[in-house]
Structure 1
Amino acid sequence: MPLRNYTVLKGKAVDTDIAKSGKPHFEIHIKDDQKHDYRIAVNIESGSRPSEVLYFASENFNSEQITKLPQLNSGFTSITSDNRDIALDYVRGKLFDHTKMIPLPHDKPGANNDLKEKIEGYMDEAMNKNATLYAFGEAWGPEENEPDKYFNFVPGSGIHDIHMNQGNIARWKSDDGIWQDGGILIHFEEENRWVGIFLAFQSQSWCTDSNGHAIKPVKDCSYNNPGH
């Protein structure tokens, strides 16, 4: 069964935080044009081994999707078969060369050498330049009676699964699907420049069938020939 509510969230980043309990996440506070609040929860460590998340950032991202995204209303846009042309698929969409993805620890002493710092750097730049974010993943909320646990806005609402959502193992296989991968695209309007941030778990196979299920284990799936 694929993600229940595959969505793109459009807005402006206004603050960031790090999850203080549970699995490490990088938290982004985002507002839409009507000043509604949302949170983007980005996995920066895997619950499976190896724990380092695969990361790639395209500094000058270009794809068919970015010609359509600026026309979207701010806030949530559900992605269905009717507008699948804006969906992300790491395997089928040829969005980037995934052989360039590198595993990064979520936190490591030193400058700009871990996933937290990489994402934080782009979010700082986005906030300084008033860039527009497009976060792809699964939406949640509104949680009418609960304030957001990081940024305290009410009702709690946001998006997670900001990573590849196919080729999963064990209990995560139920999330598999095609054309439903997560990621963050940043549009620096004044420069007319796009940045794409893409994440995957090392336990995920890049060889997947029409349902997004792995057809080969990771060790037998060449990055240069990811499958269907």
Structure 2
Amino acid sequence: MPLSTYGVIKGTAIGHLRDADDDHYQIMLRAAGVMHRVAVNVRSSAPNAPSTVLFRCTTVLPASFTTALQALPAGAKKLPHKAGGLAIDYLRSDFVSPKLMRPLAPDVPGANNDLKDQLETATLKAMAQPGAMVYAFGAKWGPEKGKPDTYFHFTPGNGIHDIHMNQGNSGSFAADNGPWQDGALILEYPGNKWSAFFFAFQSQSFKTDATGNPV
């Protein structure tokens, strides 16, 4: 069934953790005075499939899409699972280009050569430039009343995950399948400059039916 809390959080990056755990790169956002954690997968835990994540970054997005993002108020917004709005679908949107996605290791020796490097460079750039905004698409959780965030320790715990394709899954992850609910991390820099990050797992299929299940 589709992700019930699919949406986008728009906020300012104020913190990051490169090595909080093996599977994610963590970003802290302030959005309309509320703290959120963005958990971005850098490794897959799917059984019987490569752990390396498929990745694509682009600086070119449709003007109609970026204009709609800029018009959003800061904070969390739930999105309907349909075309014509801000919901992203890797296989049905016209700007993701899944065929151009390539596997990228999460963390290897050297500079600017792995997925954590890519995320860290983009995040630090956003943190250093006043007015930069982060748009995190995925499944929201929280607020977790009385419970601090696991990594950044703000209270209440609050955030967004599933920042990756959310269709084409098999096995235990098939319950998450649905169209128009794919995750992404998009950063806006001053001067109308953009970096958009799209993620998928090698266990996922790029051929799905109308319900998001693999064909």
Q: Which runs of 4+ in 1 moved over 4 A?
A: 81-84
Output one character per residue of 1:129-168: Cα deviation in whole Å (capped at 9) or x when no partner: 1311110000000011111111111000000000000000
Gaps of 5+ in 1: 216-228
Distance 1:83 1:36, change over 3 A: farther
Per the alignment, do residues 142 and 207 of structure 1 end up closer, same or farther by CA in structure 2, a change over 3 Å counting? same
Distance 1:81 1:182, change over 3 A: closer
Opposite residue 91 of structure 1, the aligned amino acid is L
Which TM-score applies when normalising by structure 2?
0.93
What secondary structure is seen at the aligned counterpart in 1 of 2:126? Answer: helix
Distance 1:82 1:2 in 2: 11
Q: Distance in 2 between matches of 1:209 and 1:24?
A: 29
The CA distance in 1 between the partners of 2:69 and 2:149, in whole Å, is 27
SS in 1 for 2:85: helix
Note if contact 1:62-1:194 (Cα within 8 Å) is conserved in structure 2: no
Q: Is the 8 A contact 1:18 1:24 kept in 2?
A: no
**SS of 2:160 mapped into structure 1:** strand
* CA–CA separation in structure 2 for the residues paired with 1:103 and 1:81: 27
RMSD: 1.6
Percent identical residues: 41
1:37 aligned to which of 35, 40, 43: 35
Q: Is 1:168 equivalent to 2:169 in the alignment?
A: yes
Count of residues in Structure 1 that have an aligned counterpart in Structure 2: 212
1:27 alignment counterpart: 26
Answer whether contact 1:65 1:87 (CA < 8 A) is retained. no
1:109 is matched with 109
Residues 168 and 209 from structure 1, CA distance in 2 versus in 1: closer, same or farther, beyond 3 angstroms?
same
Partner Cα separation in structure 1 for residue 70 and residue 143 of structure 2? 24
Distance 1:152 1:11 in 2: 18
Give the TM-score normalised by the residue count of structure 1.
0.88
